[in-house]
Amino acid sequence: MSFLYPAFLFALLALAIPVIIHLFNFRKYKTLYFSNVQLLKLIKQESRKKSQIKQLIILASRLLAIAALVFAFSRPFIPLGNQTSKAAHQIVAIYIDNTFSMKNVGEQGQILEQAKLKAFEIANAYPAGTQYLILTSDLLPQHQFILSKEQFIQQVSEIKESPKSPKFSEIYERVISTFPGSEKKSDKIFYYLSDFQKNNIDFETLHPDSSVWTYLLPFKSDKINNLLIDSCWFEVPGRKIGQQEKLFVSLKNLSEQAYQNIPIRLTINDSLRAISNISISGKEELTVELSYTNNAEGIQLCKVELDDYPIIYDNSYFLSYKVRGKMKALGIFNPLNNSSDYLKALFTDDELIGYEEFPENNVQIARLKDFQCIFMLNNQKISSGLKSELNSFVAQGGSLVLFPNRNANYTDYNELLSGLNGNTITSSDTASLGISEINYDHALYKEVFKKQEANADLPVVSGILKFTEQIQKSETPLLKFRNGKNALSTFRFGNGNVYSFAFPVDKINFNFVRHIIFVPTVYNMVLNSGELQKYAYSIERDEPVILNQNHLSDELKLINQQSKEEFRVSARNTGTEHKQLILNELISEAGHYLIKDGDKVIQSVSYNFSRKESVPEYLSGEDIQNQANAGNFKQMQIIDVNEARFSEILEDLNNGKQLWKFFIMLAIFFMLCELAVIRFWK
């Protein structure tokens, strides 16, 4: 047995008072005269013995009554489990899981509402003066302050569902850090109210605090059928005017029920552009292809949706992109070995690509930013200023194509390649060598050829260059020679691509220029150039939004296309010439958002809810207890939220089995015994 107020036990010293009264209570006796003195002596002796017994019983009753009262005011209890309350003051932290899965329905209604009602019961189970902390999945800044009971109830009643789904360890660490450090003489108690979805519970990464006792309250929901759109992606990168698009939609049926003839709709700028009816079996995944054509330039706001109830937050998928007009390519050529005419002939009168050229000794460096793709054609000399600008050009999303000169000093090439983090040239060989292999899986050649031939008739070239082969340099081969070396490779640098040929393009290698492989290779290098667009973002993940424009005013605005609500935002430097949008967790709804610089729309971003909450996998009470036991978390205990005596269980678990009522009853009983002895013992 333990005491909540052990200092009150000093009041047991009051037991000395009735003892003293008993010892010094001198009684006056009345003299009676009897003729027979012997009989008087016998009566006197008998009466004295009975009186002494009576006084001892009265004394014992008084002592026991006082002792019982002292014990009652000391608040005795029998600790349950491993928790022993050490302080009269308590700080109670309660986490209410308000993720989307908590909107599911259980035996007593929506489980989020059940959790809020249980939070009220928890608050009512503690005495006045108890301090409270409230936490939700949003991890809001205002939930870091101590609350009174009234403030706590008010905030709990205002809780709504949240798109975020933090891990259990993240919530636990936030609770530990939020508890006031100065309250060392307070009991710290944490309640975790959740449906315990598997992907959010990570006991294995937990570092429990022995000063905090944790109660786990799992809620169960009924099984619900759910068909959802998991993700969307395009067949090829780069969105261009007049391009036939193929958008792939990944669907998941997370239930046992089969769906028949469900329409999948694609709307672009609020206009229906494609529709497809699907049938899907239980527990099946399906990929649907939606085809359409980009008929207009500018920002395109796309929404793929289906109809499925009662879970609706994952029925839509938002993505957006910018369709570019005519792209611009630039050729920087060597006047002594001019191969620019080949490209000029290819791009003349082309509807999608415009072509310009500069001689290497008269490059207008200030204009490089106006192009999406730059071809370096058999250059003899590359100035240091041009190297620096080409480096920045690629980092910002442009594509650079390198055709080396046959008889050049490769120092300038290697300095440029080193700055771009690519493999450098080691030597050259005048021998001829045939190209034997095409990387059909790369976007440059995907869907170019109707069939993929292992032994295709490919051109023979001469003037072969040899490169270093460093493992840490990540390059993708596009064309290979018969000896297995790369004839054409590509690698990323910053936001752009570098295409490096291992042979020059000139009259000697004219058979490469006239071969069918030349046109799709060069043409697609331009079409796949330009700024890298991110089509969709997840609300849960803190993904940086990089702005495609550098010269921005201080009047950036973020506009929610659904609600038309506007937010003032700012941008910061990222170490490159691009800037990052500072959102500060403004995004809480899935949909399209437009970024305005003054009155001009410069970019779009589309956000989707995370699909983690859609997975119907939950831990049972037994699973939770097993994981807690495996981690030897002695400070954790599970409470059955469906127990009818929930409030009594709370009180017993937190304060132990209370005995003060029992001692009050004992005190009353001993007082009644004393009155009975005094009244009826004559």
Tell me what pLDDT residue 153 has.
Answer: 94
What one-character-per-residue DSSP string does 240-286 give? BTT-EEEEEEEEEE-SSS-EEEEEEEEEETTEEEEEEEEEE-TT-EE
Query: Whose CA is closest to 655, among 3, 123, 191?
Result: 3
90 compared with 276, residue with greater pLDDT: 276
> Coil, strand, or helix at residue 518?
helix
Q: How confident is the model at residue 28 (pLDDT cuts 50, 70, 90)?
A: very low
Q: What are phi and psi of 322, to 5 degrees?
A: -115, 125
Is the pLDDT assigned to residue 233 strictly greater than 70?
Answer: yes
Q: Which residues of 5-31 are buried (b: 16+ CB within 10 A; e: fewer)?
A: eeeeeeeeeeeeebeeeeeeeeeeeee
Q: What is the pLDDT of residues 121-172, one digit of tens each?
A: 999 888 888 899 999 998 888 888 899 999 999 999 999 999 889 999 999 9
User: If you search the block for the tokens 């029920």, which residue do you land on?
Assistant: 257
Tell me what pLDDT residue 333 has.
Answer: 94
Q: What are phi and psi of 309, to 5 degrees?
A: -130, 155
The tokens for 342 are: 């080949």
Q: Taking residues 181-210, what's their average pLDDT?
A: 84
Tell me what pLDDT residue 26 has.
Answer: 47
Q: Taking residues 258-283, what's their average pLDDT?
A: 95
Question: What CATH superfamily is the domain 90-223+616-655?
Answer: von Willebrand factor, type A domain (3.40.50.410)
Is the pLDDT assigned to residue 317 strictly greater than 90?
Answer: yes
CA angle 460, 471, 490 (to 5 degrees): 45
What are the E-state strand segments in 470-590?
476-481, 486-493, 496-501, 537-538, 545-547, 556-560, 566-568, 570-573, 579-582
Give helix then strand counts, H and E, for the chain: 13, 34
Is the pLDDT assigned to residue 482 strictly greater than 70?
Answer: yes
What one-character-per-residue DSSP string does 88-105 give? S-EEEEEEE--SGGGGSE
Q: Taking residues 461-481, what's their average pLDDT?
A: 86
Contacts of 666 (CB under 8 A, 6+ apart): 64, 65, 68
Alpha-carbon gap, residue 88 to 86, rounded angstroms: 7
Average pLDDT of the chain to the nearest whole number: 86
What one-character-per-residue DSSP string does 371-401 give? -SEEEEEEES---HHHHHHHHHHHHTT-EEE
Q: What is the pLDDT of residues 524-563, one digit of tens each?
A: 899 888 766 789 999 987 788 888 776 667 678 999 999 9
Is the pLDDT assigned to residue 21 strictly greater than 80?
Answer: no
Distances (CA, A) of 453 to 89, 178, 437, 549, 634: 79, 65, 9, 43, 65
CB atoms within 10 A of CB 451: 6
CATH number of 537-608: 2.60.40
347 and 320 Cβ atoms separated by less than 8 Å: no
User: If you search the block for the tokens 């330009």, which residue do you land on?
Assistant: 530
**Picking from 10-19, 225-234, 492-501, which range would have the lowest pLDDT averaged per residue?**
10-19
Alpha-carbon gap, residue 172 to 182, rounded angstroms: 19
Task: Give alpha helix (H) positions in 278-431.
Answer: 340-347, 384-395, 411-419
Distances (CA, A) of 289 to 95, 110, 266, 292, 442: 42, 36, 11, 10, 20
Residue 184 per-residue DSSP state: T
Q: What are phi and psi of 560, to 5 degrees?
A: -80, 115
427 and 466 Cβ atoms separated by less than 8 Å: yes
**Domain residues of the chain, as ranges?**
2-79+660-680, 90-223+616-655, 327-527, 537-608
The tokens for 229 are: 């759109």
109 and 206 Cβ atoms separated by less than 8 Å: no
For domain 327-527, give the fold: Rossmann fold (3.40.50)
Tell me what pLDDT residue 115 has.
Answer: 95
Contacts of 588 (CB under 8 A, 6+ apart): 162, 163, 539
**Peptide bond before 208: cis, by omega within 30 degrees of 0?**
no
Residues in the chain: 682
**Picking from 233-247, 398-412, 517-531, 587-601, which range would have the lowest pLDDT averaged per residue?**
233-247
Tell me what pLDDT residue 58 has.
Answer: 80
Is the pLDDT assigned to residue 661 strictly greater than 90?
Answer: no
Q: pLDDT > 70: what percent of the chain?
A: 89
Query: Whose CA is closest to 477, among 455, 500, 457, 496?
Result: 500
CB atoms within 10 A of CB 61: 21
Contacts of 217 (CB under 8 A, 6+ apart): 115, 118, 191, 192, 193, 194, 638, 639, 641
Distances (CA, A) of 596 to 34, 427, 600, 653: 121, 51, 5, 56
Q: Do domains 327-527 and 537-608 have the same CATH topology?
A: no
> Coil, strand, or helix at residue 177?
helix
48 compared with 14, residue with greater pLDDT: 14
614 and 103 Cβ atoms separated by less than 8 Å: no
Tell me what pLDDT residue 185 has.
Answer: 66
Tell me what pLDDT residue 236 has.
Answer: 72
CB atoms within 10 A of CB 628: 20
Alpha-carbon gap, residue 25 to 324, rounded angstroms: 110
Q: What is the pLDDT of residues 604-641, one digit of tens each?
A: 999 999 998 898 889 988 899 888 888 778 888 888 88
Task: Give alpha helix (H) positions in 602-644.
Answer: 621-630
> Coil, strand, or helix at residue 403?
strand
Tell me what pLDDT residue 116 has.
Answer: 95
Q: Taking residues 514-527, what's their average pLDDT?
A: 91
346 compared with 631, residue with greater pLDDT: 346
Tell me what pLDDT residue 148 has.
Answer: 93
Distances (CA, A) of 363 to 79, 380, 438: 85, 14, 34
